[in-house]
Chains A and B, each alone.
Chain A
Amino acid sequence: MAEAGKSLAYHARHEKSWVTATAEQDNPPTFAEVNEDVVRSIVETGPGYWWILGVTVVLTFLCFFVPWFYQLEVGLQASGMNHPVVWGTYLANFIFFIGLSHSGTLLSAVLHITNSSWRKAIYRSAEAMTLFSLMTAAMFVMVHVGRVWFVHWSTPYPNQMGLWPNFRSPLMFDVMAITTYLTASWVFIYMGSIPDFAAVRDRTSGWRKKFFTIWAMGWRGTHREWHHLSQAYTFFAVFVIPLAVSVHSIVSWDFAMSIVPGLHQTIFAPYFVCGAIYSGTAGIVTLMWVLRRAFKNFDRYILPIHFDNLGKLLLVLSLIWTYINICEIFTGWYSGSSGEMEMLKFRMFGFYAPLYWEMIAFCAFLPLLLISKKIRRNLTAMLWISIAINIGMLTERFIIVATSLPRQYLPDAWGFYFPSTVEFLITFGSFGIFLTLFLLFVKFVPSISIYEVKETLPEPRPKGEN
Chain B
Amino acid sequence: MENPHKSLKAKWEENRRPGYYQEYENHWGMVIDLDRCTGCGACVTACQAENNLPIVGEENFREGREMKWLRIERYWEGEYPDVKLRFIPMLCQHCDQAPCETVCPVYATYHNQDGLNIQTYNRCIGTRSCAVYCPYEVRYFNWETHVWDEPLEQQLNPDVTVREKGVMEKCTFCVQRIRKVKDRARDEDNRPLLDGEVQPACVQSCPTEALTFGDFNDPESAVSKKKHNDRAYKVLEDLNTSPSIVYLSRVEPEDESHG
> Are A and B in direct contact (Cβ within 8 Å)?
yes
Given A145-B125, A146-B126, A259-B239 in contact, is the A409-B135 Cβ separation under 8 Å? yes
Segment among A273-281, A380-388, A410-418 that sits at the interface with chain B: A410-418
Specify which chain A residues have a CB less than 8 angstroms from the CB of B137 in the assembled complex: 83-84, 408-410, 413
**Bound CA–CA A87/B132 (angstroms):** 8
Distance in angstroms from A449 CB to nearest chain B CB is 38
Given A75-B144, A86-B132, A259-B239 in contact, is the A146-B105 Cβ separation under 8 Å? no
**Bound CA–CA A169/B102 (angstroms):** 6
- Does B105 contact A166, Cβ atoms closer than 8 Å? yes
- Does B99 contact A165, Cβ atoms closer than 8 Å? no
- Does B167 contact A147, Cβ atoms closer than 8 Å? yes
| B140-156, CB < 8 A from A | 140-145
Distance in angstroms from A254 CB to nearest chain B CB is 7
Distance in angstroms from B180 CB to nearest chain A CB is 26
- Does A147 contact B105, Cβ atoms closer than 8 Å? no
9 A-B pairs with least C-beta separation: A146-B126, A146-B166, A75-B165, A82-B64, A412-B73, A147-B166, A77-B143, A75-B144, A86-B128
- Does B133 contact A146, Cβ atoms closer than 8 Å? no
Distance in angstroms from A416 CB to nearest chain B CB is 8
- Does A257 contact B102, Cβ atoms closer than 8 Å? yes
**Bound CA–CA A56/B106 (angstroms):** 36
Specify which chain A residues have a CB less than 8 angstroms from the CB of B141 in the assembled complex: 76, 83, 86, 146
Residues of chain A touching chain B, judged by Cβ–Cβ distance below 8 Å, are 74-77, 80-87, 144-148, 150-151, 153-154, 163-166, 168-172, 175, 254, 257-260, 263, 405, 408-413, 415-416
- The closest CB in chain B to the CB of A153 belongs to B106
Most B CB within 10 A of own CB, among A148, A164, A258, A413: A258
Residues of chain B touching chain A, judged by Cβ–Cβ distance below 8 Å, are 60, 63-66, 71, 73-75, 90, 99, 102-107, 123-129, 131-133, 135-137, 140-145, 165-168, 236, 239
20 intermolecular pairs with C-beta atoms under 8 Å apart: A74-B144, A77-B65, A83-B64, A83-B66, A83-B131, A83-B137, A84-B137, A86-B141, A145-B125, A145-B126, A145-B127, A146-B141, A153-B123, A154-B105, A168-B102, A169-B105, A175-B105, A258-B103, A409-B136, A415-B64
Instruction: Name the contact of A153 in the complex, choosing from B66, B125, B167 (C-beta under 8 A).
Output: B125
Instruction: Name the contact of B135 in the complex, choosing from A74, A77, A86, A259 (C-beta under 8 A).
Output: A259
- Does A410 contact B104, Cβ atoms closer than 8 Å? no
Specify which chain A residues have a CB less than 8 angstroms from the CB of B106 in the assembled complex: 153-154, 163, 165-166
**Bound CA–CA A74/B99 (angstroms):** 30
Distance in angstroms from A288 CB to nearest chain B CB is 36
- Does A171 contact B105, Cβ atoms closer than 8 Å? yes
**Bound CA–CA A391/B165 (angstroms):** 33
Distance in angstroms from B80 CB to nearest chain A CB is 20
Given A146-B142, A147-B166, A147-B167 in contact, is the A410-B102 Cβ separation under 8 Å? no
Distance in angstroms from B10 CB to nearest chain A CB is 20
Most B CB within 10 A of own CB, among A257, A259, A260: A259
- Does B125 contact A146, Cβ atoms closer than 8 Å? yes
Specify which chain A residues have a CB less than 8 angstroms from the CB of B128 in the assembled complex: 81, 86-87, 146
Specify which chain A residues have a CB less than 8 angstroms from the CB of B239 in the assembled complex: 259, 409
